[in-house]
Amino acid sequence: MSADPRHPHVRGMGMASARSRARLVERLRALGIDDERVLDAINRVPRHEFVDEAMTSRAYDDTALPIGYGQTISQPYIVGEMTRLLIGEGVPEQVLEIGTGSGYQAAVLAEIVPTVYSVERVEPLYEQARRRFARLGYRNIRVRLAREDVLGLPDYGPFEAILVTAGAESLPTGLLEQLAEGGRMIVPVGASGDQRLIVVRRENDTFVRETLDAVSFVPLIHESQDVR
């Protein structure tokens, strides 16, 4: 798959990075990530650009890594699985991501989805991600600093797909209301140590949920009180 002319990204730091990404892709394929669109996107994104310099030697390990402020860059397998679930029924025109963090998940999505909106509450992480997206040429990512006491981007919705990269104790109704008819949301739900990945589909103004594997995410910061 050739580079999309909408976002001609910087492609890593030489052959060592390319080989490391290729090995990571093969590990993810062996673990069951079988959507070639997702694997190609992960192969295209230079994960070492999204971690602290001291962590670059571990950038292509299949593990979460700290990025400061109590946050992490997600494990590549989880990034791949959530992306696979999000696009499995068709690629949406735009996605809302809750929790930009380092920006890695948004970058993987941006390799597939025409427009990604991403919201971050930690201002230093927002600033870092904004500069990183600009430097790497991700012109189809719109990153926003979260507004106080507002979850998501209600003024920009409804969205065909929403992906939440932090653990909510309950399904946030504020995000459900931003989901378009026929849309889907991927969200980790549950108390710390007991989270499950949930897929929610909006069908005829009702919400159908499917519970999947156990996961472990940092808590959703300043979670809206409007939950169910």
Question: Which residue, 109, 105, 99, 27, is CA-closest to 60?
Answer: 27
Active-site residue 74, yes or no? yes
Strand order in the sheet with 179-189: 141-145, 115-120, 94-98, 159-164, 179-189, 195-203, 206-215
Catalytic residue among 2, 17, 57, 74: 74
Question: Which residue, 197, 37, 213, 206, is CA-closest to 111?
Answer: 37
Q: How far is CA 1 from CA 38, 109, 112, 139, 220, in A?
A: 11, 15, 11, 19, 35
- Record the tokens describing residue 167, joined without a space: 């653990």
Amino acid at 201: R
**Do 177 and 154 contact (CB within 8 A), yes or no?**
yes
Q: How far is CA 150 from CA 122, 169, 204, in A?
A: 14, 17, 25
Catalytic residue annotation: 74
